[in-house]
Structure 1
Amino acid sequence: MNDEPSILLTNDDGIDSVGFRALYDALTEVGSVTAVAPNSDQSAVGRAISHEVPVHQHELGYAVEGTPTDCVVAGIESLVPETDLVVAGCNRGANLGAYVLGRSGTVSAAVEATFFDVPAIAVSMYIPVREDAAFADVEENYDSYAEATRAASYLAAHSMGAGVFEQCDYLNVNAPVADRGPAEMAITEPSRVYQMGAERNGETVTLHDRIWERMAEGDIPDPEGTDRRAVVDGKVSVSPLTAPHTTEHHEALDGLAETYDRS
């Protein structure tokens, strides 16, 4: 790898989102950055993938009519084959908790990169929301992402050389809004607290994640050392994670296999 890494930048909010541009600008101080990102909002699509996607030239690189996973596959295999590092973000809104990882298009882009043996960093910014404030109504601007881009640039510049990716596949980074001054960085693990609920009203069922209002109030049950606790405490959370699903020896399942009726 050259001293200046080739960075493939993608996201799920779309290539023209404010957070994407803020992260692109910051990473240009670290390496050679090429955008390969969705041309429109693809939030919460997980690892959805397409068979064929139109690709358009963009001032930052390439705009893809597809998902974040499409962008990573197309980028590494065709558009930016010299990629040393994939960075996904900066997402408008946090990606915290074990149950969120598979839903997030931002995190899924990082996961996809690891199957190509390319290290990756997913970057998100936490925006406090309360029960009486819709997420879409919360204002953010370019400067709001300064804490997230500072952390992402630091990790992009130093993590590969420090051997970080010899012990993990990707990093999930969540930063607070940049309104309190420089934040401390905390190494965390995804919280396992789960507070999804559902309420039926006639012909519809409304799904609701109760944890977001609790976060906005600072009243969360998550223990020290977890990603959500760190962000609520005003820190930058960095979770080192592995991507492939793991398997373990299960004696109980072995017993079922032995008694399986093959007739």
Structure 2
Amino acid sequence: MSESLDILLTNDDGIDNPGLLAVRDALSEIGDVTVVAPASDQSATGRAMSTDVHVEERDHGYAVQGTPADCVVAGMEALGPTPDLVVAGCNAGANLGTYVLGRSGTVSAAVEAAFFDVPAIAVSRLLEPGQVGSRDLTTDGYQTAAHATKYLAEHALGAGVFDHADYLNVNAPIAGQESGDMRITRPSDAYDMTARRQDATHVTIHDRMWDHMESGDIDDPDGTDRRAVLDGHVSVSPLTAPHSTHHHDALDALAQTY
């Protein structure tokens, strides 16, 4: 690891969230960390982008009135040195499964960095049952996630990990239930969203995967991110960002008859 390692750190829970502060403290031991993070909670904003954002310099870094994707672009182009690595997190709540990859602000920050051709790590932490969405944790509750992030930031670049992956989606288990192991995983493809119409103007949307996780009633096989985290391991999924396209005979035929 080079002593000149520059790291851009962001999140989607807001600049004052203890998860970000825990990761900042860990990464500061191995490099120069520039924090550019949302001024307020921007969870589940995906890659939403603004055209003009207010920036305020605070003790922790730059607070941006915008989304995590805004923060990455602003940090890259206007507020800090060009980083060797972008880190997003640590998020309060796990980001597991293929269906959350486009929804999560934490993961979307890493994807935004990938389009700049800068390696990135998105890191999240599973919360205790009934604590989903909680922002009440202290920095002590993020130490496993912070340690894993520091380890990957220190070693992954030199090991050639990012020759094959654009970003890593890292998830840590519930504090106190850690196995001490790190597992390389793939995102689970399990999906269970429901919607119920309450009245003429109100529909309730619910992600039932959280219910399955809290009860332990999941079908995720070994090798998936959700299975690894529920078993107490740190999950690391190596992922690529650009959408791929493939030759499609049926679509070619439709175009020819248009």
Tell me the TM-score normalized by structure 1: 0.94
String of CA shifts for 1:78-135, please: whole Å, max 9, x gaps.
Answer: 1113211000000000000100010100000000001111000000001133xxx363
**Cα distance in 2, alignment partners of residues 199 and 251 from structure 1:** 39
Corresponding position of 1:5: 5
**Cα distance in 2, alignment partners of residues 210 and 25 from structure 1:** 35
SS for the counterpart of 2:205 is strand
For structure 1, the 5+ residue unaligned runs are none
String of CA shifts for 1:149-198, please: whole Å, max 9, x gaps.
Answer: 01000000000000000001000000013213552101011110001111
SS for the counterpart of 2:152 is helix
Residues 217/53 of structure 1: CA separation in 2 closer, same or farther (3 Å cut): same
CA RMSD for the aligned pairs? 1.5
Q: CA deviation at 1:232?
A: 0.7
Residues 1:149 and 2:146 are matched in the alignment: yes
2:151 maps to a residue whose letter is Y
**Cα distance in 1, alignment partners of residues 23 and 113 from structure 2:** 18
Q: Is the 8 A contact 1:144 1:179 kept in 2?
A: no
1:215 maps to a residue whose letter is M
Corresponding position of 1:114: 114
Q: Is the 8 A contact 1:22 1:142 kept in 2?
A: yes
**Cα distance in 2, alignment partners of residues 137 and 42 from structure 1:** 14
SS for the counterpart of 1:21 is helix
**Cα distance in 2, alignment partners of residues 125 and 232 from structure 1:** 11
Q: Is the 8 A contact 1:143 1:178 kept in 2?
A: no
2:150 maps to a residue whose letter is S
The 5 Å alignment of 1:84-103 reads: 84-103=84-103
Q: Is the 8 A contact 1:6 1:33 kept in 2?
A: yes
String of CA shifts for 1:31-83, please: whole Å, max 9, x gaps.
Answer: 10010001111111000010011111111221111110000001011111321
Residue of structure 2 aligned with 1:135, choices 119, 125, 132: 132
Residues 142/239 of structure 1: CA separation in 2 closer, same or farther (3 Å cut): same
Corresponding position of 2:163: 166
Corresponding position of 1:216: 214
Runs of 4 or more consecutive aligned structure 1 residues displaced over 3 Å after TM superposition: 1-4, 136-139
1:107 maps to a residue whose letter is V
Residues 78/38 of structure 1: CA separation in 2 closer, same or farther (3 Å cut): same
Q: Is the 8 A contact 1:96 1:174 kept in 2?
A: yes
SS for the counterpart of 1:159 is helix
SS for the counterpart of 1:90 is strand
Q: CA deviation at 1:2?
A: 4.3
Q: Is the 8 A contact 1:19 1:91 kept in 2?
A: yes
Query: Percent identity of the aligned residues?
Result: 62
Tell me the TM-score normalized by structure 2: 0.96
Q: CA deviation at 1:140?
A: 2.4
**Cα distance in 1, alignment partners of residues 212 and 31 from structure 2:** 38
Q: Is the 8 A contact 2:57 2:63 kept in 1?
A: yes
For structure 2, the 5+ residue unaligned runs are none
Residues 173/136 of structure 1: CA separation in 2 closer, same or farther (3 Å cut): closer
Corresponding position of 1:83: 83
1:226 maps to a residue whose letter is T
2:256 maps to a residue whose letter is E
Residues 40/183 of structure 1: CA separation in 2 closer, same or farther (3 Å cut): same
* Number of residues of Structure 1 aligned to a counterpart in Structure 2: 257
Corresponding position of 1:51: 51
**Cα distance in 1, alignment partners of residues 133 and 191 from structure 2:** 23
